[in-house]
Amino acid sequence: MTSTARVRALQADDRARWDELWAGYLQYYQQALPEATTELTWRRLMEGRELWGFAGLDDGGRMVGFAHYHFHLSTWSPKGYCYLEDLFVDPAGRGRRVGRSLIEAAYRAADERGIERVYWHTENTNARAQILYNQVGYLTPFLQFRRRT
């Protein structure tokens, strides 16, 4: 096992595999999105103006995970923050440092912009992911609230 999995920017020819992984990610979180939202997400990832993505590759070069991130302004920081919005590794690809490598790639992208804060969310029941997250980051005391609809 290598200490770091290979990570690269998402590319247009990743679409079919990304679709498979995206479906697995949505299934894990028991979510269904309109196809138009998935298409818009992919288009934004490919444009690389608002949303960026990485592909995590296994030893054979097959995409086994992805990370999506974006930058936003902050009233508390002149350079803003980086939000790691989506992170997913195929269950068959887990335990090979792919998730860690994807997070570290987001850290590097933020560093290139001089941004110190990279943050993300997960469900409080996602214990396996939290093992990794506690190694590469720390849990804050903030809770998330949402608008009632």
**Has residue 35 been placed in a domain?**
yes
CATH number of the CATH domain containing 34 = 3.40.630.30
Containing 25, the helix (H) or strand (E) segment is helix 15-28
Residue 21 lies in a domain: yes
Whether 143 maps to a domain, the answer reads: no
The reply to whether 44 falls in a domain is yes
Q: What is the mean pLDDT of residues 26-49?
A: 97
User: Which pLDDT value is given to residue 92?
Assistant: 87
Residue 51 lies in a domain: yes
In a domain, 114, yes or no: yes
> Rounded to two decimals, what is the model's pTM?
0.94
User: What domain range is 122 assigned to?
Assistant: 6-136
146 in any annotated domain = no
Query: Which of 66, 76, 82, 50 lies closest to 14 in space, CA to CA?
Result: 66
pLDDT digits (tens, 9 = 90+) for 54-63: 999 999 999 9
Q: Is residue 142 part of a domain?
A: no
* pLDDT tens figures, 95-121: 899 999 999 999 999 999 999 999 999
Total domains in the chain come to 1
Q: What angle do the packed helices 98-112 and 127-136 form, to 10 degrees? A: 40
Q: Which of 92, 77, 96 is nearest to 7 (CA)?
A: 96
